[in-house]
Amino acid sequence: MRDNECTKIVGTNVILVPYRKKHVERYHEWMKSEELRYFTGSEILTLAEEYQMQKRWHQDQDKCTFIILDKSIFTETENEIEAMVGDTNLFFNEPDQPNTAEVEIMIADVTFRRRKRGWEAIILMLLYGVNKLNVTKYIAKIKFDNEKSINMFEKLKFQKVQKSQVFQEYTFEKVINKNWIDWLYSEATINITTYEEHDKEREKEKENNPAHNL
């Protein structure tokens, strides 16, 4: 989504950055995990397909994708690839409900699970969606046997509204209201800022291709 391509969201222990080409290789390694593909409803892709998917997600207006970085690793190394721990997405799938978004999250690096990275990252994403993308309702689709995620979304005050035997998943939803937004703010510190790396890369592109300056 072009709306978030220059956006960086900084929290206490995580930083969200737009999903870029340079992240694809590590992302592809993660998605070799059958567990991750099952819980996120993803298909196995070749590396070339993964690059195409990243490009499409970047261009499509109905998808907002961030990579989750561990803040302490990034502060120490300034290397986004080393600091990558997962991703979080919003999908605007319902043409007749443009303010409804499906939210997804994964902490792909298992050594970072159960350390509140998922909790903080999803709260930052939920607040970003409400504040910058005018979301008024969230939904989440969760496999029947994904106890961790069910616990997390129930703790986020989502409610189970549907059950699909075909997909073996529940649909949870949360209609946004002021009390809930205030509560999200009480759970996280959020700083929405500019993704400077993007600016540097654009500068480089311009230097390499002066026609951009015209």
The binding site for ligand COA (CB under 6 A) comprises: 36, 39-40, 104-107, 113-119, 140, 142, 146-149, 151-152, 155
Distance of alpha carbon 20 from alpha carbon 16, whole angstroms: 12
Least Å from the CB of residue 191 to ligand COA? 19
Least Å from the CB of residue 19 to ligand COA? 16
Residue number, nearest CB to ligand COA: 118
β-pairing verdict for 14-18 and 7-10: antiparallel
Alpha carbon 176 to its chain centroid, in Å, reads 19
Task: Name the strands in the sheet holding 14-18, side by side, starting at the edge strand that comes first in the sequence.
Answer: 159-164, 169-175, 137-143, 100-107, 84-91, 63-70, 14-18, 7-10, 191-194
Residue whose CB is less far from ligand COA, 144 or 185:
144
Least Å from the CB of residue 212 to ligand COA? 39
β-pairing verdict for 100-107 and 137-143: parallel
Residue whose CB is less far from ligand COA, 11 or 118:
118
Distance of alpha carbon 67 from alpha carbon 56, whole angstroms: 16
Residue whose CB is less far from ligand COA, 7 or 149:
149
Least Å from the CB of residue 112 to ligand COA? 7
Least Å from the CB of residue 8 to ligand COA? 20
Residue whose CB is less far from ligand COA, 137 or 212:
137
